Structure formats: structure tokens, C-alpha cells
């Protein structure tokens, strides 16, 4: 035992006894010495009798202690270093590697291709219809109150060939004769939308 070891042991013996609280850890703390030749092993055993050859991270070393307490491991480490050995410590809490989640691009979803609905343009101008045609359904605008010429003028803005017809049931402006009631009704609605009191007569 060299003089450095004796001095350290003397100092340690004069210190009042104390206890070390175990520290949280993930694996034991290992104190080791390098190099690992037999001469160094014999010298280490003068301080740590149960020291032996071992391997740390693939390197041949002399293991001089294995502790669950960081404080006890550091005490053994300081003892060996104070005695002139190249001592080190390994172990303790090992943080797991940070693994970032893989970056995934969201799938590209193409919107469905839809054909726009076919919309027929609205009919803005009525067909040129001869009011004296052979159709039995008449689109008519009764003449009430206002003069016949005024009502006729209003209808002719949309039906250029409209004419006044006089009957026992009353006079009206004939906007057109149609073979289909649906067609006559359509033009009746057309005139109603423009403020004229149109209707369909059947003969």
C-alpha cells in the first residue's frame, strides 16, 4: 500500500460515520481501472481485494466495484484516483434516444370530376305566332277598364302579331293560338310575369 492510500484511509477513518441515500438510476454504476495488466490488477487489489478483469464497452478493464448508489460509486472512484490509478465510472441513468415520428404526407385526393348540369337558357322572346292560327287554346289578355289600344300595345311589346278579339263574353287581346294547352299556359305565365292578366281560353 503506497503512502497516498494510507493518507486517504487515515482521513476517511477520522470522519464521522454517515450514510448515503440511494439515487435513482437505470443500471448499476461500475467503477473500473485501466490498463488491465496483471501488475495493475495486483496493485488495485491492495485497495479493492475483490477487483477482477472485465470488459466495458469492448475494452479490457479492471472492475473495482459495482454499486447501486452513485455516492458509493463516486467514493470508490475518488479512492482509486487519489491512490494514483486511472479510474473511471460508468452506468447510471441512460436517456432513451429521441425518436421523431416519421413524417408522412397526407394522401392526395383528387376531387371527383363532375359535369356541370346542362341548363337551357330561359326563353326571353316569345315565338311570332299568328293569333288567327288553327290552335284551339288561346293565350288571351282580357280588356278591362283601359282602352283596347293600350292593352294591345302592352301585349305587342312581346307578341308583335297580337290582335284584339271581340266576343259576347267580352273583348280580349289574342296573343296566340296553340294546339297544346301546356304551350298556351306557358305563354300565359310569361305575360303574367310582366304584369298582364293573361289566361288561356279554349274554343
Low-confidence ranges of the chain (pLDDT < 50): 11-25, 94-95, 121, 128
Buried b (16+ CB within 10 A) or exposed e, 73-107: beebbebbbbbebebbbebeeeeeeeeeeeeeeee
At 98 the pLDDT is 58
C-alpha pair distances (Å), 75 with each of 20, 27, 29, 130: 10, 18, 12, 121
What's the Rg (C-alpha) of the chain? 56
Domains 20-90 and 137-202 are alike in CATH topology: yes
d(CA 175, CA 183): 12
Give pLDDT tens digits for 6-32.
555 554 444 434 444 444 445 899 999
Q: What is the CATH number of domain 137-202?
A: 3.30.70
Q: Where are the domains of the chain?
A: 20-90, 137-202
Domain 20-90: top CATH class: alpha beta
Question: Alpha helices of the chain — where are they, by DSSP H?
Answer: 3-13, 38-45, 70-82, 148-156, 181-192
Give pLDDT tens digits for 79-97.
999 999 999 999 765 445 5
d(CA 149, CA 195): 17
Q: Where on the phi/psi map is residue 176: left (φ > 0), alpha (ψ -120 to 50), or beta?
A: left
At 102 the pLDDT is 75
At 17 the pLDDT is 41
**Cell digits of residue 10:** 487515515
Amino acid at each position: 500500500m503506497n503512502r497516498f492510500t494510507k493518507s486517504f484511509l487515515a482521513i476517511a477513518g477520522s470522519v464521522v460515520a454517515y450514510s448515503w441515500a440511494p439515487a435513482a438510476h437505470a443500471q448499476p454504476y461500475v467503477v473500473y481501472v485501466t490498463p488491465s495488466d496483471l501488475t495493475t490488477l495486483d496493485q488495485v487489489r491492495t485497495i479493492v481485494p475483490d477487483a477482477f478483469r472485465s470488459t466495458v464497452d469492448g475494452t479490457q478493464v479492471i472492475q473495482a466495484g459495482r454499486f447501486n448508489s452513485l455516492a458509493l460509486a463516486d467514493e470508490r472512484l475518488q479512492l482509486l484516483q487519489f491512490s494514483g490509478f486511472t479510474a473511471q465510472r460508468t452506468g447510471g441513468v441512460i436517456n432513451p434516444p429521441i425518436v421523431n415520428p416519421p413524417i408522412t404526407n397526407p394522401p392526395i385526393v383528387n376531387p371527383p370530376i363532375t359535369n356541370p348540369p346542362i341548363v337551357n337558357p330561359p326563353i326571353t322572346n316569345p315565338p311570332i305566332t299568328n293569333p288567327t292560327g288553327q290552335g284551339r287554346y288561346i293565350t288571351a289578355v282580357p280588356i278591362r277598364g283601359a282602352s283596347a289600344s293600350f292593352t294591345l300595345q302592352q301585349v305587342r311589346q312581346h307578341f308583335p302579331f297580337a290582335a284584339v278579339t271581340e266576343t259576347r263574353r267580352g273583348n280580349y287581346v289574342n296573343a296566340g293560338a296553340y294546339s297544346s294547352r301546356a304551350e298556351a299556359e306557358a305563354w300565359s305565365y310569361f305575360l303574367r310575369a310582366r304584369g298582364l292578366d293573361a289566361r288561356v281560353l279554349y274554343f
